[in-house]
């Protein structure tokens, strides 16, 4: 892939990826399932890196949204009236499907940061523990499955709180254990041990319901939206999971 990138250039590779996603979307087109992020309908969802391998709750064939992104998009659209009310949003470590869709929303000022400046739709390089933005700058922040990778997550929450306008909110999602406290141990550094204890090699913790206390300590008002309340028809139609819970965190107005 490195040699191909040097030969074709980064822009051309992006166009190749877009072409593959378009072809995959057309190939799997149907009426059984729907992706709210791109608006396409399909016979089935697929594995992220596969053209043919079928699943019922994995990635959208057209935009590669995962179940978590479809869940969040529906919540933004149906519960928060996001597209009618929000004028500025920051996405932390953007996912391609979200960046693509949000950057096209008329009158929405979309910004995205990532430690990798070459990531798709990134508007500035930055770390969630040191967000390159002024105080009280955004109406909303999206932080989707990021905090479990961040060693100093308390500093990250302080930064998200700082860049939100009073009355603004952050949508946070993380892998979550509902029946036990947060698992974390800074002495655990090997990828194998992290995968065994925290779910993936790049994770530094596995959150529990006591995450709410951390959110409140950072100054947020907190609303928990459990995935268990999603209707079965909605879950099937959009390929959602039963464990993608949402924390809606509001910076109180003075």
CA angle 169, 245, 212 (to 5 degrees): 60
Examine the pLDDT at 115 and tell me if it is beyond 90.
yes
Q: What is the gyration radius of the CA atoms in the chain, in angstroms? A: 18
| CATH 3.40.50.150 segments of the chain | 67-250
Q: How far apart are CA 240 and CA 232, in angstroms?
A: 9
* Confidence tier at 24 by pLDDT (50, 70, 90): confident
Residues in the chain: 254
**pLDDT for the residue numbered 25:** 81
Burial class (CB in 10 A: 0-12, 13-18, 19+), 49: exposed
In sequence order, what E strands does 84-136 have? 88-92, 109-114, 124-125
Examine the pLDDT at 11 and tell me if it is beyond 80.
no
Give the least confident one: 16-20, 66-70, 177-181, 206-210. 16-20
Give the least confident one: 50-54, 133-137, 180-184. 50-54
Which range has the top average pLDDT, 7-21, 48-62, 95-109, 235-249?
235-249
**pLDDT for the residue numbered 2:** 46
Examine the pLDDT at 6 and tell me if it is beyond 60.
no
**Residue 16 vs residues 4, 53, 120, 182, 183: alpha-carbon distances, Å:** 11, 20, 14, 41, 41
pTM of the model: 0.89
Examine the pLDDT at 215 and tell me if it is beyond 80.
yes
Overall CATH class of domain 67-250:
alpha beta
Sign, Cα dihedral of 22, 24, 26, 31: negative
Query: pLDDT by residue (tens digit) across 126-158?
Result: 999 999 999 999 999 999 999 999 999 999 999
Examine the pLDDT at 91 and tell me if it is beyond 50.
yes
pLDDT average, residue stretch 234-245: 95
Q: How far apart are CA 82 and CA 92, in angstroms?
A: 17
Q: How far apart are CA 64 and CA 142, in angstroms?
A: 18
pLDDT average, residue stretch 40-52: 83
pLDDT average, residue stretch 49-59: 72
């Amino acid at each position: 892939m490195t040699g191909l990138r040097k030969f074709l250039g980064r822009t051309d590779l992006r166009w190749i990826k877009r072409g593959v996603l378009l072809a995959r979307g057309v190939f799997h087109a149907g009426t059984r399932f729907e992706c709210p992020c791109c608006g396409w309908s399909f016979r089935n969802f697929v594995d992220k890196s596969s053209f043919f391998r079928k699943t019922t709750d994995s990635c959208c064939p057209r935009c590669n949204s995962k179940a978590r992104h479809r869940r969040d998009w529906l919540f933004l659209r149906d519960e928060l009236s996001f597209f009618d009310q929000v004028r500025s949003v920051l996405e932390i470590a953007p996912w391609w499907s979200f960046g693509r869709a949000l950057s096209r929303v008329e009158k929405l000022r979309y910004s995205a940061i990532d430690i990798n400046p070459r990531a798709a739709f990134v508007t500035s390089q930055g770390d969630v523990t040191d967000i390159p933005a002024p105080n009280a700058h955004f109406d909303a922040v999206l932080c989707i499955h990021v905090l479990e990778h961040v060693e100093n997550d308390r500093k990250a929450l302080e930064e998200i709180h700082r860049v939100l306008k009073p009355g603004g909110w952050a949508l946070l999602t993380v892998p979550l254990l509902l029946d036990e406290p947060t698992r974390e141990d800074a002495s655990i550094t090997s990828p194998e041990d992290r995968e065994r204890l925290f779910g993936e090699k790049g994770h530094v913790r596995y959150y529990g319901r006591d995450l709410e206390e951390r959110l409140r300590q950072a100054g947020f008002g907190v609303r928990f939206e459990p995935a268990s309340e999603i209707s079965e028809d909605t879950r099937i139609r959009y390929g959602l999971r039963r464990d993608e819970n949402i924390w809606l965190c509001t910076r109180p107005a003075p």
